[in-house]
Amino acid sequence: MRRRFGALSAGVLTVALVASGCSETTNSNSGGDQKAKVQTGTIATDPAESQGPAKAVQGATKGGVVKLLHAAEFEHLDPQKIYVSDALSMATQFARTLTGYKEDGTGNLKLVGDLATNAGEDVNGDCKVWKYTLKDGLKFEDGTPITAQDVAYGISRSFDPDWGDGPTYLQQWLAGSVEYNTTYKGPFVSPNDPIPGVKVEGEKVLTFTFPAPQCETPYAVAMPTSAPVPKAKDTKGDYDRKPVSSGPYMIKEHAYDQFIEFVRNPNWDAKTDPIRNAYPEGIRVEFGIDAENGANRVAADAEADKTAFIWANVPAAVLPKTRAPEFKERVKNGPSQYVEYTYINMDRVKDLKVRQALNWAVDRDAILKIRGGVDTFGSTLLSPTIGGYQNYNAYDGGPTGNPEEAKKLLGGQQITLTYAFPNIPARQQMAAKTKEVYAKAGINIVLAPLDPNSYYKAVGTKGNQYDLIRGGWGADWPSASTVFPALFDGRTIRDSGNQNLAYMNEAEVNSEIDRIKVMKVDQAAGEWAKLDKMIMQKYAPVIPQYYINNYEIHGSKIGGTFLSDSYGHMTLNTMFVKP
């Protein structure tokens, strides 16, 4: 799942986010109800909040090894390429960033300085110049000090045309253009050129100067884009296998597509880290274990799996047993910032009526049942957790769809479309159901299962052969501004690494994105919601499927964890092994 709800304006460092407490908003639709509860968090303005060590977890003990049972290899571990939720969650343990999130499991989310001494200094008060000063005592796994130059070098890599899988906010803002690497193309192609807008002063100070105000910079530099990379240890394409750690854990062994063994980084200093407790001695990731097998193993709680957990929703076949009272402490569930879509490739499916027919015919109820009933009917581009969200359904065929309305729109056309999805069991079931559902409307679906390890690379390549593309999105931080520009601004489309998987490029939409982006967040929220409706009614570039709720499980000897509001999975930051 690619990468949440908020308010942030210059001078007001507050956010609103979904969690399990406080005031309640309700989304009702023909397919079901979702209740999302909203709390208020902050960006820390007191530098003391950015100092370590992290607050101790009650009852926690050091030692032991926790074990993630995972379906497939991470698409990327290279920080500047990471943009999928599982890798983002894992990266918190080996790739520190300028800022990061303090969480306590109750929905209180606070952005603090991670590598930096604070969440950022708005030098002139206009959000155009942001200054970050690194803490003392920061080291890579080999004991080499982490410098501002290492952070700048990491950011420079994200400009490379072949490094396009990660977030592009910082690059676009620094270059002043969505086509951020037209001139500067990173350290491999443009080794002697300066990084646009980035200035390094000595060993500790890094300054960003933007052509336009960027008041959400503290959030943007919490993404792995700002993770430091030592130039002398950069193995370029091979860096995905064994990145150099700046966090509490480092890779001891990585057998690709089999396992990764993370061990404690002896040069990580807890006194510099306000976010991570790093209680376990190690983290082992085992690949090739699909969600059903993983959930069954964790639920069975055999001795070898008492410290195991999964970062996937418990599948429908396993759900009933996990709803028994004895599993209450081992299940973590709640709403997330993610929405599941089927993107319609507008480069290939050019007929609006075909795209509308696909929306009329979708059977969300069937898909939700395959998912086990954990998720919620969804018909909008925005999640109900996003500020300004408005509930509507532009193609209301009811929870099971209206194939007859779809047939009317098609007017007797015989349509065959190719559907791309990751080749893992849960997605195979959903794809088979999708084929069955669309056959009722006279639409023939050709299934195209793809290697999950390289899925987003394949579908993110312009000119790909897929008409329909399974995908999902969650806001990168508490703002709708991290949804529409990423997914629907056609000017971001490039040869590879695309997030706009509908390949939508409409001048009207691009113009609206520009208009709304410069508004204050309280004004922009409602405008984003209007754009949501306009995109679906006029262009139908995607088929919203459902709002994703999380339902994960861990073994009986794991304590201290909760669903992260920033990444959507059980957090490793506070996890410990019970004696």
- pLDDT per position as a tens digit, 202-212: 999 999 999 99
SS in 3 state form for 26-79? EEEECCEEEEEEEEEEEECCCHHHHCCCCCCCCCCCCCCEEEEECCCCCCCCCH
CATH fold of 334-549 reads Dipeptide-binding Protein; domain 3 (3.10.105)
Amino acid identity, position 161: P
Per residue in 25-54, pLDDT tens?
A: 233 333 334 455 443 347 888 999 999 999
- The dihedrals phi and psi of 90, each to the nearest 5 degrees, come to -70, -35
Over 90: is that where the pLDDT of 480 sits?
no
> Do the Cβ atoms of 555 and 306 come closer than 8 Å?
yes
Helix (H) or strand (E) holding 251: strand 249-255
- The overall longest dimension of the chain from CA atoms, in Å, is 69
Q: What confidence score (pLDDT) does residue 150 get?
A: 98
**Cβ neighbours of residue 330 under 8 Å, at least 6 residues apart?**
298, 322, 553, 554, 555, 556, 558
**What's the whole-number mean pLDDT along residues 11-31?**
31
What percent of the chain has pLDDT above 70? Answer: 93
pTM: 0.85
Per residue in 296-308, pLDDT tens?
A: 999 999 999 999 9
Per the listing, tokens 């253009």 go with 177
H helical segments located in 159-222? 169-175, 217-220
Q: How many CA atoms lie within 13 A of 453 on its CB side?
A: 10
> Do the Cβ atoms of 396 and 30 come closer than 8 Å?
yes
SS in 3 state form for 539-569? CCCEEEEEEEEEEEEECCCEECCCECCCCCC
Amino acid identity, position 114: D
Mean pLDDT (the chain) is 91
**What's the whole-number mean pLDDT along residues 256-267?**
97
Which has the minimum average pLDDT: 34-38, 443-447, 532-536?
34-38
Q: Report which of 63, 51, 77, 93 is spatially closest to residue 248, judged by C-alpha positions.
A: 93
Q: What confidence score (pLDDT) does residue 45 get?
A: 86
Q: 1 falls in which pLDDT band (50, 70, 90)? A: low
Q: Report which of 459, 447, 543, 468 is spatially closest to residue 499, judged by C-alpha positions.
A: 459
Q: Output the CA–CA distances (angstroms, integers) from residue 259 to 208, 249, 474, 482, 557, in the order listed.
A: 38, 15, 27, 33, 21
Over 90: is that where the pLDDT of 352 sits?
yes
**What's the whole-number mean pLDDT along residues 280-295?**
97
CATH number of 54-282+554-577: 3.40.190.10
**What's the whole-number mean pLDDT along residues 123-133?**
96
Per the listing, tokens 């396993």 go with 318
Cβ neighbour number for residue 271 with a 10 Å cutoff: 11
**What's the whole-number mean pLDDT along residues 550-570?**
94
Per the listing, tokens 């990491």 go with 154
Interatomic CA distance for residues 487 and 469, integer angstroms? 13
Q: Report which of 354, 321, 350, 276 is spatially closest to residue 572, judged by C-alpha positions.
A: 276
Domain boundaries defined on the chain? 54-282+554-577, 334-549
Q: What confidence score (pLDDT) does residue 74 get?
A: 95
Decide which of 18 and 539 is more confident: 539
Q: 478 falls in which pLDDT band (50, 70, 90)? A: confident
Q: What confidence score (pLDDT) does residue 42 get?
A: 76
Q: Report which of 437, 446, 422, 442 is spatially closest to residue 348, judged by C-alpha positions.
A: 446
Q: Report which of 138, 90, 131, 130 is spatially closest to residue 114, judged by C-alpha positions.
A: 138
**What's the whole-number mean pLDDT along residues 424-433?**
93
Which has the minimum average pLDDT: 145-149, 211-215, 303-307, 466-470?
211-215
Cβ neighbour number for residue 429 with a 10 Å cutoff: 15
Interatomic CA distance for residues 551 and 298, integer angstroms? 13
Sheet containing strand 282-286, strands side by side? 249-255, 259-264, 282-286, 65-69, 308-309
Interatomic CA distance for residues 364 and 214, integer angstroms? 38
**What's the whole-number mean pLDDT along residues 239-256?**
97
> Do the Cβ atoms of 207 and 98 come closer than 8 Å?
no
Over 70: is that where the pLDDT of 87 sits?
yes
Helix (H) or strand (E) holding 15: strand 14-19
